[in-house]
Amino acid sequence: MAQASATLGHDHGDDVVAQHRKNVEASKALILSRLGGLKPKIAIILGSGLGALGDKLHSPVRIAYKDLPGFPIPTIVGHSGELIAGKLNGVDVIALKGRKHFYETSDPYPLKTMIRAMKAVGVEVLFVSNAAGSLRADIKVSELMAITDHINWMGMNPLVGANDDDFGPRFPPMTDAWDPALRAKLKEAAKKTNVPLHEGVYIAFRGPMFETPAEIRMAITLGAQAVGMSSVPDCVIARHCGLKVVGCSLITNMGAGLSDEKLSHAHTLENAARGAANFEKLVTEFVKLI
Ligand code: HPA
């Protein structure tokens, strides 16, 4: 097992697991040494095109992922790879700007390190955001959808391999993976800020391609309302280690075949920018309510 490769996404050897524990500990120590008086209970993963919120924090403490042992270094445009701690609406938060997707790597450990380090520094709630395609005509481009549940259609699971019981159990339940009470607070924040907020199930494909129209029809049949290439692994890792999860999708396009628009990453970022202001309003109010 010593030779087991982390890059296959399974069968990690003892050396990989031990190194991961060291990375979580070292990242924890570095983050804690930099937080000053901040005691964040919430970490916010900023999805594609939503990173600007990280730059709105007051008294920011910035740590590049490359300085955090084991953290994921993003490789694509729109994801910068930086942890920013600071105050949002008077509340201590950590913003995680960028992460590595499972179309960039088969190695789940960088994402595990990032999320478990959040738990290790005292975070209790993980807010997950993403850019997604809509699977319903009434959920329109630039609108937001609170995630009620997810379907893991990625063909992989970040928890495959040796389980480290110190982080969480072998068979974690996913019944209330997306926390209903926190989602109620998110809806309250939406009402207060007049931001339209849909609700629905998010299905994750692994990517890195946009889906075919047939796959989109399948996703609709399976009961999803939005489609993307992220967030499910984040939620699974977070729930496994006991973090509560809440989050939303910013709709950047209609799913393939549901409109005439040509799908591209540039287009996704362009449409994300149009909805980002509402996202920021919503999250800024939400952190005050939890
Ligand atoms: N499919 C998958 N991922 C996405 C999409 C989509 O239509 N839009 C934004 N991310």
To 5 degrees, how large is the angle CA 110–CA 151–CA 191? 95
Compute the residue count for the chain: 290
Q: Which residues are marked as active site?
A: 48, 79, 101, 103-104, 131, 229-230, 253, 265
Q: What's the average model confidence in pLDDT over 228-241?
A: 98
Cα separation, 114 vs 237, whole angstroms: 10
Q: Checking DSSP bridges between strand 197-205 and strand 226-228, what pairing results, if any?
A: parallel
Q: pLDDT tens, 194-218? A: 999 999 999 999 999 999 999 999 9
The answer to whether 54 and 78 are in contact (CB under 8 A) is no
Q: Contact, 15 vs 2, CB < 8 A?
A: yes
> Residues lining ligand 1, CB < 6 A?
131-133, 210-211, 227-229, 252-253, 255, 268
For 275-290, write each residue's pLDDT tens digit: 999 999 999 999 999 9
Rounded to the nearest whole angstrom, what is the distance from the C-alpha of residue 257 to the centroid of ligand 1? 12
Pocket test for ligand 1, best of 212, 227, 232 (most atoms within 8 A of CB): 227
Q: Please choose, from the candidates 94, 106, 114, the residue with its C-alpha nearest in 3D space to the C-alpha of residue 43.
A: 94
How many angstroms separate the alpha carbon of residue 182 from the centre of ligand 1?
25
Q: 0.85 cut: is pTM over it?
A: yes
Amino acid at 29: A
Among protein residues, the one with the nearest Cα to ligand 1's atom 2 is 228
Most ligand 1 atoms within 8 A of CB, residue of 77, 139, 211, 230 to mutate:
211
Euclidean distance between the first and the last CA atom of the chain, given in angstroms as a whole number: 44
Which ligand 1 atom is the nearest neighbour of the CA of 263?
Answer: 7
What pLDDT, on the 0 to 100 scale, is given for residue 271?
A: 83
Outline where 130-264 has alpha helix (H): 180-193, 213-222, 232-240
Question: How do residues 84-130 score in pLDDT, each as one tens digit?
Answer: 999 999 999 999 998 889 999 999 999 999 999 999 999 999 999 99
Question: Ligand 1 centroid to 132 CA: how many Å?
Answer: 4
Query: Rounded CA gap, 168 and 245, in Å?
Result: 15
Strand partners, 145: 198, 249
Nearest to 228 by CA among 152, 161, 169: 152
How far away, in angstroms, is 141 Cα from ligand 1 center? 12
Domains of the chain with CATH codes: 28-289 (3.40.50.1580)
